[in-house]
Amino acid sequence: MNIRKLKFYHFRNYDKASFSFEENGIHILRGNNAQGKTNVVEAIYFLSLLRSFRTSKPNLMIKHDEEMMMIEAQIESKERTEDLKVVLSEHKKQLFRFGQPVSTYSSFVGSLNAILFCPDDLMLFAGAPSQRRKFIDTELIKLSKTYTATLSHYQKLLKDRNLALKSTPVDRALIQVYTDQMIEDEKIIIKQRHAFLKDLIEKSQSLYPFFDDGKEVMDAVYKTFVPIDENLEQSLKEAYATSLSKDLFYKTTQLGIHKDDFIFSLNGVPVIESASQGQKRSVLLSLKLGLAHIVYEKDGQYPILLLDDVFSELDEGRKRTLIQMLPEQMQIFITSAEPIQTDWFKRKVFFYTIENGTIKEEVHERNE
Ligand SMILES: Nc1ncnc2c1ncn2[C@@H]1O[C@H](COP(=O)(O)OP(=O)(O)OP(=O)(O)O)[C@@H](O)[C@H]1O
């Protein structure tokens, strides 16, 4: 998958800007701090998921003192070339595909598949379990419609069950109806999370040694509230039966996949407890590249890879390794405020200078 054109109008610090990108190449956006490099990455990510990785308030992306903003892109995939456009004003978000208005989120999201690495991702290890669930869910939602539908059904049931637990008098029969339906959803979600993590870890494990000279072994464990085996349904039923009195006491559902966690480790020690900054970045990069390989296996094409400020805190060896590990048929955007040595690249690479909300393509430098 490739972005061939990208246009902004009143987006962040860009007034009006237009970019063209070659397919598959590495595109380096360089420039001093606060010039608009990450803004470009944010725009691509926003077209992919209709949410920003920096703010939960999309209106902040509208250029100061303006009333609306627009991001537009031409996407080339294996199947087709299509135009995507988002127009956002304070009270309205309008979506367009092929120049036609699109009314639902689900018929827009999915056209552009992008995988992002950004410095805040390092919070994956230190943050709350909800962040790790979000990481896994975001990818599974892109990969499986069944997962998306089941997760949203479960979330609704959980809300209803919690309301039923709070009501007086308590309707135990109704709570049981919700519990039974939640168990059906959980059987699907637990199996999919388990299988996805196994696949992701297998792929990432094969990449991590390149970053760390094969010294450490990365791994991850899926922590849910029941054993994952052939007795899953029975275990779920027993867990809810045992927890019912607690649920009634606290008036909220104490157990469920909404409390799952995923623990990432190096040599058996949780990453958060002992990994260096460089090692954390290396684990994350192995995970992100692992994700890209999963998408390739499923779709027969790589997603777009967005690497925001990826080089800081990586030593030169790791920087070189990262570049060598990037698949040839993947379009990649890298932002950097650091000097970049052109001899790191042995493939098509394009440089752009970003300065105060303007973009200038530099002379193509190609080392082949
Ligand atoms: N809504 C907005 N309107 C106008 N300018 C904005 C808006 N939001 C952010 N900016 C400006 O965008 C710039 C930041 O851009 P960006 O985050 O892309 O920087 P960067 O080049 O990636 O920098 P760094 O190397 O420090 O990460 C800042 O100058 C900021 O003031």
Question: Burial code of 325-352, b = ≥16 C-beta within 10 A, e = fewer?
Answer: ebeeebbbbbbbbeebeeebbeebbbbb
pLDDT value of residue 368: 47
Q: How many domains is the chain partitioned into structurally? A: 2
Residue from 11, 39, 46, 338 whose mutation best tests the ligand 1 pocket (most atoms within 8 A of CB): 39
Q: pTM here?
A: 0.92
> What's the gap in Å between 305 CA and the centre of ligand 1?
21
> Range of 73's domain?
1-113+304-368
Considering 302, 334, 359, which residue would you say is the last residue of a domain? 302
Locate the ligand 1 atom nearest the alpha carbon of residue 336 and give its number. Answer: 25
Considering 281, 302, 323, which residue would you say is the last residue of a domain? 302
- Does 281 lie in the same domain as 175? yes
ipTM over the 0.95 cut-off: yes
Q: Count of alpha carbons within 13 Å of 170, Cβ hemisphere only?
A: 15
- Does 150 lie in the same domain as 84? no
pLDDT value of residue 152: 95
Q: What is the CATH number of the domain that holds 20?
A: 3.40.50.300
pLDDT value of residue 347: 78
- Does 157 lie in the same domain as 38? no
DSSP 260: -
Residues 63/11, Cβ–Cβ less than 8 Å: yes
- Does 312 lie in the same domain as 297? no
Does the annotation flag 290 for ligand binding?
Answer: no
> What's the gap in Å between 38 CA and the centre of ligand 1?
7
Q: What is the CATH number of the domain that holds 274?
A: 1.20.1050.90
56 within ligand 1 shell (Cβ under 6 A): no
Does the annotation flag 341 for ligand binding?
Answer: no
- Does 55 lie in the same domain as 5? yes
Pick the residue whose CA is nearest to atom 17 on ligand 1: 38
- Does 169 lie in the same domain as 40? no
- Does 180 lie in the same domain as 35? no
Considering 258, 277, 302, which residue would you say is the last residue of a domain? 302
pLDDT value of residue 157: 98
Does the annotation flag 32 for ligand binding?
Answer: yes
- Does 359 lie in the same domain as 277? no
- Does 192 lie in the same domain as 106? no
pLDDT value of residue 364: 55
Locate the ligand 1 atom nearest the alpha carbon of residue 61 and give its number. Answer: 1
Residues 70/92, Cβ–Cβ less than 8 Å: no
Residues 306/113, Cβ–Cβ less than 8 Å: no
Residue from 9, 13, 40, 89 whose mutation best tests the ligand 1 pocket (most atoms within 8 A of CB): 13
- Does 340 lie in the same domain as 295? no
Spell out the per-residue pLDDT of the chain, length 368, in tens: 999 999 999 999 999 999 999 998 899 999 999 999 999 999 999 999 999 999 999 999 999 999 999 999 999 999 899 999 999 998 899 999 999 999 988 889 888 999 999 999 999 999 999 999 999 999 999 889 899 999 999 999 999 999 999 999 999 999 999 999 999 999 999 999 999 999 999 999 998 888 777 778 999 999 999 999 999 999 999 999 999 999 999 999 999 999 999 999 999 999 999 898 888 988 999 999 999 999 999 999 999 999 999 988 788 888 888 888 899 999 999 999 988 877 778 777 899 999 999 999 886 555 44
> What's the gap in Å between 34 CA and the centre of ligand 1?
5
- Does 258 lie in the same domain as 161? yes
- Does 315 lie in the same domain as 177? no
pLDDT value of residue 363: 61
pLDDT value of residue 224: 98
Cβ atoms < 10 Å from Cβ of 267: 11
Pick the residue whose CA is nearest to atom 15 on ligand 1: 36
